[in-house]
Amino acid sequence: MIGRKKKQQAVQVPAAERGQNAVRDVPRPEPQRTVTRFGHGSRVPGWDDAADLTKDPAEIPDPATTPVDAALRAEIEAHMAKYPDFRSAAIPALAAAQRHHGWCSPEAIEQAACIMRLTPGYLSAVATFYDMLETQPVGKHRVYICTNISCSLCGADELMARMLQEVGDDPDFNVRSFECLGACDIAPMASVNDIYVGPVSLEDVPVLVEQIRAGTPPLPGKQLHLRRCVDPGAAS
Ligand code: FES
């Protein structure tokens, strides 16, 4: 019922204020904000693009004409060695190629396919399915703002708009919305270059962007992995 006018709800009154089992109707304020669902392009891009049937079937790239950086080759081969079926290494191989090239460019996919002895089309199908594999050029700083339900109810849409405004057209930033990042208890939250921070306020945004640009830790006081926990080794 998000975004719709709600009926007034009965609220349980604390025992000290009520008689035995008494329930009093207390009016709650009307919700003012409409939460946009999927309005930020947070769905996986390209999921409804049809295959181009006019293209020739792809071939496995020839190692003789496909130069690959030695470190990238070693990393992908190490991933392939971990699995009974080497194709299970498709995701880590693409992630390695993405780290090396900045994104899953046609060249990156070609090189990974050459090492894995697969067609580029096979790996493209994987790269276009998983939305942390980028098939378009992106900025090097990854800022993923969760806009799923818990975070949206806590102001993620405003946070997203404020972040986009602060970053402007800086090509070093890859700011995007994300479906639940699994840290709803710190909503609204964001993943900043793989570090979870939250709750992120609108006032935090200029500070956060400055820290990212300076290469310093993002919002140190709000990093999830530094929170106190029953596990004494968690913060280390
Ligand atoms: S809804 Fe944002 S982390 Fe779960």
Mutate to test the pocket of ligand 1, among 2, 38, 150 (most ligand atoms within 8 A of CB): 150
Tokens of 136: 């378009």
CB 177 within 8 A of CB 152: no
CA pair distance 156, 160, nearest whole angstrom? 6
pLDDT of residue 19: 46
pLDDT of residue 233: 66
pLDDT of residue 117: 96
What average pLDDT score do residues 72-79 get?
A: 97
Q: Is residue 44 pLDDT above 70, yes or no?
A: no
Report residue 44: phi and psi, to 5°: -60, 125
pLDDT band, very low/low/confident/very high, at 152 (cuts 50, 70, 90): very high
pLDDT of residue 97: 97
In tens, the pLDDT along 79-89 reads 999 999 999 99
In tens, the pLDDT along 166-189 reads 999 999 999 999 989 999 999 999
Q: With a 6 A CB cut-off, is 181 part of the ligand 1 pocket?
A: yes
Beta bridge partners of 70: none
What average pLDDT score do residues 86-112 get?
A: 96
Q: With a 6 A CB cut-off, is 76 part of the ligand 1 pocket?
A: no
Place of tokens 């790996």: 123
* DSSP structure class, residue 191: E
Q: With a 6 A CB cut-off, is 195 part of the ligand 1 pocket?
A: no
Q: With a 6 A CB cut-off, is 189 part of the ligand 1 pocket?
A: yes
What is the atom index within ligand 1 of the atom nearest the CA of 148?
Answer: 1
Q: Is residue 229 pLDDT above 80, yes or no?
A: no
What average pLDDT score do residues 190-195 get?
A: 96
pLDDT of residue 50: 74
Q: Is residue 9 pLDDT above 50, yes or no?
A: no
SS3 36: coil
* DSSP structure class, residue 229: -
Q: With a 6 A CB cut-off, is 180 part of the ligand 1 pocket?
A: yes
> Which domains occur in the chain, in start order?
63-129 (1.10.10), 141-226 (3.40.30.10)
With pLDDT > 90 as the criterion, what percentage of the chain qualifies?
A: 65
User: Which of residues 177 and 38 earns the better pLDDT score?
Assistant: 177
pLDDT of residue 99: 94
Closest CA to 119 of 66, 198, 176: 66
Q: Which amino acid is at 55?
A: K
Q: Which amino acid is at 82?
A: K
Mean per-residue pLDDT of the chain: 84
